[in-house]
């Protein structure tokens, strides 16, 4: 496809890729893109240096007022230097051979390291010239981990459009910044940046609700099975009302590729595609889960292209089964019927669409939702069981079968928080010239978080600060009762699994995987309860906003959480530990996934981050003696003499002693970089005090009238305690 009046174009000449450039493109911003790779872009510029053209990726000056470096470790690399070829064309045009550069240049695409390309087995398949873009299709063979992998890899050179007015980043809202790999995307801090968003502009600026000059359009991958297309389309269109909140009618379109579209390469910048990679993801090197690949104008944060990749869909049914099968008969057969599977594909499409609109994975007000509404069909229809589809709340397992809630209301959907986020990010603010002039209007929206708690966004972090940061659980303002009801349903799931196995000949591998999924959910629910201990509620604030950012969970709620946690985590219910079908699947106690989760939970209870939060509660917030109270309560509960046949309890006792000894001996890693992640001297002292008490209790127990079977275990525990010198 040719360009008659182009600033640049490409063609193949004897298998070589020749680029022709007009001098007008020199020093002008352009993108060099490797399609299908998150972060696969450089903003580049061409310059003429003697008899060569130089392609450089200089720092980008964002209109928000920051300089964005490119390349690895903030470098601004020269990507290539090419001799100008002799040409009989107009002297304002120059030609260079980019074949080897495209096929073999050792470019680091952000987090992705260069791969070893086999040049003899790699070649350029074709070149397509489009308006402001040249697309180069290649067949690339790389050597990765000793394996040869051949795949189609497309590249583009793309002239950037006129920059739009950016919307300034606000750490209280859930949008990515223009540089998706920058550290500010992973820390809740004020920063100078622009948010990622599409360019939407009203056709009629006088109307409250107007169609945009140009809609956001997604194309369906032709390889998508026909039966799933309506559900994928519905997942995108779930967001239409959210854009209406921002003042845009018909802002979204989902199209099929038509005859004219077939003239465009699959990866042209002018097309955002919903790609179907679920069918053969096992056999090919493809995404194992769904994701989004975006191309961004770093100057403004404008999203130029966003491909939604639908990866493996097996985990969709697995997660839904262990959460909702007691309330949805469709989920009690394998495989799921198409209507249920389609609804789950719609859900994952809607989630990924949120990323395509610029929003992050995070927590969006879940902890503020009222527990008593989670079984109310009217609330669920209007508000959903979670405020946003962008959090990992998953599906509603609090509902009980007797509630008779329609199954369609169990699945996570676009919610009120999503409408709020899109309104803040996309509404057109008129009669302003500079990005900072928008701030009064935007601030008024942000301050709605003061009165609407489920509008409060917080970023998922390495340190889980409280219940508002939980993942993979259905969060609301009562994690304990939610977990209690969730466990009731999980017990029903075990019964359904046993019935399917006994009566319907469920495949053993599916049975085993479903059991592992159930254990994983149990583990997530235990962590949810655990998040109350040393936990805070969160409301990000900026200068001028009054009140605390972090508010501690009430002490009585923390005490209740510890009691519930000990009940469940030390001695899990028998229906989970030893379901009826398990005896047909196992020949050994190894591996014991449940015990592994129990041991992790003990470690998480006494994680140094949690203990330091409890220390702060003691020092500054009046929670006097809370660490010692919790430590001694857990220790006394764990070491009540148990039947020695309860091997998991015995293993937890040993795990607890080993952890305590390491802390007291200061054997935990204490390098310079990890010093802040270790235990404080205060905590070490409390652990030593607890060890002294435990040693005394164990010795008294040995002198008492106990079962002979317990003697050996107690002596093993005392031997472990001898590893630390206890000064009396």
Q: What is the pLDDT of residues 230-260, one digit of tens each?
A: 999 999 999 999 999 999 999 999 999 987 7
3-state SS of the chain: helix, strand, coil percent to 5? 40, 20, 40
Question: Would the pLDDT of 269 be above 70?
Answer: yes
pLDDT, average across residues 534-563? 95
Given a contact cutoff of 8 angstroms between Cβ atoms, the answer to whether 686 and 627 are in contact is: yes
In this predicted structure, the answer to whether residue 288 has a pLDDT above a threshold of 70 is: no
> Would you say residue 575 has pLDDT above 60?
yes
Rounded average pLDDT over 472-490: 97
Rg of the chain (C-alpha set): 29
pLDDT value at position 242? 98
Whether 143 shows a pLDDT value over 90: the answer reads no
pLDDT band at 264 (very low <50, low <70, confident <90, very high): confident
- Reported as a pLDDT band with limits 50, 70 and 90, residue 499 is very high
What pLDDT shows up at residue 286? 39
**Segment 535-553 mean pLDDT:** 93
The answer on pLDDT for 660 being more than 70 is yes
Indicate the pTM of the whole model: 0.93
Query: Over the chain, what is the mean pLDDT?
Result: 90
| Predicted confidence (pLDDT) at residue 127 exceeds the cutoff of 90 | yes
Asked if residue 591 lies in contact with residue 565, where contact means CB atoms within 8 angstroms, the answer is no
Query: Are residues 334 and 500 in contact, defined by beta-carbon separation less than 8 angstroms?
Result: yes
98 alpha carbon, distance to own chain's centre: 37
Percent of residues, the chain, with pLDDT higher than 70: 92
- The burial class, CB within 10 Å (0-12 / 13-18 / 19+), for 10 is buried
pLDDT value for 636: 94
* pLDDT tens sequence across 385-412: 999 999 999 999 999 999 999 999 999 9
Closest to 437 measured CA to CA, from 105, 715, 166, 624: 166
Task: Decide if pLDDT at 528 tops 90.
Answer: yes
Q: How confident is the model at residue 225 (pLDDT cuts 50, 70, 90)?
A: very high
For 234, 381, 398, 399, 415, the CA distances from 406, given in Å and listed in that order, are 19, 10, 13, 10, 18
pLDDT at 88: 66
What is the separation, in whole angstroms, between the first and last Cα of the chain?
Answer: 87
Assign residue 47 a region (left: φ > 0; alpha: ψ between -120 and 50; beta: otherwise). Answer: beta
DSSP output for 458-475: E---SS--SGGG--SS--
Least confident of 469-478, 483-492, 543-552, 708-717: 708-717
């Amino acid at each position: 496809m040719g360009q008659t009046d182009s600033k640049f174009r490409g063609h193949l000449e004897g298998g070589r890729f020749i680029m022709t450039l007009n001098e007008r493109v020199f020093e002008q911003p352009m993108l060099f893109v490797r399609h299908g790779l998150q972060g696969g872009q450089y903003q580049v510029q061409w310059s003429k240096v003697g008899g060569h053209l130089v392609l450089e990726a200089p720092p980008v000056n964002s209109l928000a007022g920051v300089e964005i470096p490119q390349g690895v470790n903030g470098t601004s690399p020269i990507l290539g230097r090419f001799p100008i070829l002799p040409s009989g064309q107009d002297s304002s045009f120059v030609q260079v051979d980019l074949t080897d550069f495209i096929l073999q240049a050792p470019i680091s695409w952000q987090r992705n390291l260069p791969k070893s390309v086999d040049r003899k087995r790699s070649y350029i398949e074709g070149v397509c010239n489009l308006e402001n873009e040249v697309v180069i299709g290649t067949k690339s063979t790389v050597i990765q981990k000793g394996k040869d992998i051949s795949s189609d890899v497309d590249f583009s050179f793309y002239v950037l459009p006129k920059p739009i007015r950016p919307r300034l980043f606000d750490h209280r809202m859930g949008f990515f910044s223009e540089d998706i790999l920058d550290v500010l995307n992973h820390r809740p801090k004020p920063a100078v940046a622009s948010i990622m968003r599409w360019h939407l502009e009203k056709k009629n600026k006088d109307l409250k609700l107007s169609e945009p000059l140009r809609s956001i359009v997604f194309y369906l991958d032709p390889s998508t099975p026909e039966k799933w297309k309506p559900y994928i389309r519905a997942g995108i269109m779930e967001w239409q009302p959210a854009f209406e909140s921002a003042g845009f009618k018909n802002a979204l379109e989902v199209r099929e590729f038509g005859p004219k579209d077939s003239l465009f390469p699959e990866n042209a910048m002018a097309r955002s595609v919903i790609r179907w990679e679920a069918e053969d993801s096992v056999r090919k090197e493809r995404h194992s889960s769904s994701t989004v690949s975006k191309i961004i104008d770093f100057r403004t944060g404008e999203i130029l292209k966003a491909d939604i990749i639908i990866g493996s869909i097996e985990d969709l049914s697995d997660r839904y089964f262990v959460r909702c099968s007691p309330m949805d008969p469709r989920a009690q057969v394998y495989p799921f019927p198409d209507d249920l599977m389609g609804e789950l594909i719609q859900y994952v499409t809607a989630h990924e669409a949120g990323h395509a609109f610029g929003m992050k994975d995070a927590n969006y007000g879940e902890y503020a939702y009222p527990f008593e509404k989670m079984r109310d069909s009217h609330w669920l229809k209007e508000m959903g069981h979670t405020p946003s589809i962008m959090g990992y709340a998953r599906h509603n397992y609090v509902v009980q079968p007797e509630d008779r809630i329609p199954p369609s209301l169990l699945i996570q959907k676009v919610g009120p928080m999503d409408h709020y986020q899109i309104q803040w990010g996309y509404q057109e603010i008129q009669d302003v010239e500079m990005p900072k002039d928008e701030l009064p209007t935007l601030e008024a929206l942000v301050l709605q978080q003061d009165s609407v708690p489920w509008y409060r966004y917080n970023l998922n972090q390495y340190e889980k600060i409280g219940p508002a940061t939980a993942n993979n659980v259905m969060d609301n303002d009562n994690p304990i009762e939610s977990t209690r009801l969730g466990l009731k349903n999980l017990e029903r799931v075990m019964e359904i699994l046993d019935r399917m196995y006994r009566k319907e000949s469920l495949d053993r591998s599916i049975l085993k995987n479903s059991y592992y999924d159930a254990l994983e959910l149990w583990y997530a629910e235990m962590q949810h309860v655990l998040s109350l201990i040393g936990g805070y509620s969160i409301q990000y604030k900026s200068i001028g906003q009054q009140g605390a950012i972090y508010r501690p969970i009430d002490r009585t709620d923390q005490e209740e959480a510890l009691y519930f946690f000990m009940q469940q985590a030390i001695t899990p219910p028998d229906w989970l530990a030893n379901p009826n079908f398990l005896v047909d699947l196992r020949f050994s106690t190894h591996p014991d996934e449940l015990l592994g989760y129990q041991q992790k939970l003990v470690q998480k209870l006494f994680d140094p981050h949690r203990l330091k939060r409890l220390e702060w509660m003691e020092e500054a917030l009046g929670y006097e003696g809370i660490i010692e109270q919790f430590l001694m309560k857990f220790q006394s509960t764990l070491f009540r003499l148990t039947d020695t046949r309860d091997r998991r309890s015995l293993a937890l006792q040993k795990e607890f002693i080993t952890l305590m000894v390491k802390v007291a001996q200061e054997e935990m890693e204490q390098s310079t970089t990890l010093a802040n992640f270790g235990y404080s001297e205060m905590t070490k002292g409390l652990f030593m005090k607890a060890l002294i008490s435990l040693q005394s209790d164990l010795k008294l127990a040995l002198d008492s009238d106990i079962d002979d079977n317990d003697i050996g275990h107690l002596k093993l525990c005392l031997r472990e305690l001898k590893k630390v010198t206890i000064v009396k």
